[in-house]
């Protein structure tokens, strides 16, 4: 792993060796397994009462499985939750700032935030972040590694400063972090984070068709479309260095769908 002065959105020295090399646990976490700190516990206790009221009004509860979807344009983070009847949108948070422009992260130090399909396990929570609270999205994933993309420790965090990360402000990350922490504590093995340049509708893909990244964005579109259609987080694998939707719903395996990059 290469380190550089550009990783200023990270809190150095607060991650285990497993986190540093990108090796995540795949077994379910319990509340006792999750990383914590007095600051994080205090912030979650403060945030919980009002958040619980908002959730109850939507038929949701703290601890239910979550799914996070990020759009660089218009600059939003969507928090989806599953109450047993499929995922529904709980809240759309404005991103205070993120680094770079539409398009994937290629190299460490390029000041660019990633795009693609990522997973977060308990080990990726950072309750001691210098940016209030944070979690690592899991970049680089298998696809990024296959494309020889470099960089590490890309976060969703508080504050409003970013070099490669998604800064949400302290108040917003308190809610997002609590929902993530409690979902993992209640047995969700990992939650998915899908990051797109914009909603990958046919109209938007046509609008941005002159971009050098249009082939890459088309490779993300089957995963975007699967969630839009079924409101279930699709299973996405990497075959021969390309994203492949292997199941559009948790219970129904579908024919593999992928678009290769030019």
> Which one from 9, 96, 132, 165 is the annotated catalytic residue?
165
Distance between the two ends of the chain, CA-based, in angstroms? 28
> Which one from 96, 132, 157, 181 is the annotated catalytic residue?
157
Q: How far apart are CA 130 and CA 35, in angstroms?
A: 15
> Buried b / exposed e across 72-106, counting CB within 10 Å, b at 16+?
beeeebebbbbeeeebeebbebebbebbbebbbbe
Q: Is 165 annotated in the active site?
A: yes
The reply to whether omega before 236 is within 30° of 0 (cis) is no
Distance, C-alpha 167 to centroid of its chain = 12
Q: How far apart are CA 262 and CA 132, in angstroms?
A: 41
Q: How far apart are CA 90 and CA 67, in angstroms?
A: 10
**Active-site residue numbers?**
157, 165
């Amino acid at each position: 792993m290469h380190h550089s002065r550009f990783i200023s959105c990270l809190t150095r020295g607060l991650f285990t060796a497993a986190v540093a090399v990108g090796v995540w646990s795949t077994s379910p976490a319990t509340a006792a397994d999750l990383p914590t700190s007095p600051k994080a516990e205090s912030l979650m206790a403060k945030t919980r009462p009002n958040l619980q009221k908002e959730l109850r009004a939507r038929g949701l509860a703290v601890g239910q499985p979550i799914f996070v979807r990020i759009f660089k344009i218009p600059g939003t983070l969507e928090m989806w939750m599953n109450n047993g009847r499929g995922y529904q949108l709980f809240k759309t948070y404005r991103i205070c700032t993120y680094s770079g422009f539409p398009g994937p992260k290629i190299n460490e130090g390029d000041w660019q935030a990633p795009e693609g399909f990522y997973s977060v396990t308990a080990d990726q929570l950072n309750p001691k972040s210098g940016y209030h609270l944070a979690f690592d999205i899991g970049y680089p994933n298998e696809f990024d590694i296959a494309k020889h993309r470099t960089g590490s420790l890309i976060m969703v965090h508080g504050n409003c400063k970013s070099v490669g990360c998604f800064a949400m402000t302290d108040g917003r990350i308190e809610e997002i972090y609590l929902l993530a922490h409690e979902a993992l504590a209640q047995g969700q093995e990992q939650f998915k984070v899908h990051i797109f340049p914009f909603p990958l509708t046919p109209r938007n893909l046509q609008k941005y068709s002159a971009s050098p990244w249009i082939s890459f964005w088309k490779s993300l579109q089957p995963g975007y479309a699967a969630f839009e259609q079924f409101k279930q987080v699709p299973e996405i694998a990497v075959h021969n260095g390309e994203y492949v939707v292997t199941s559009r719903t948790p219970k129904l395996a579908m024919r593999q769908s992928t678009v290769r990059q030019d």
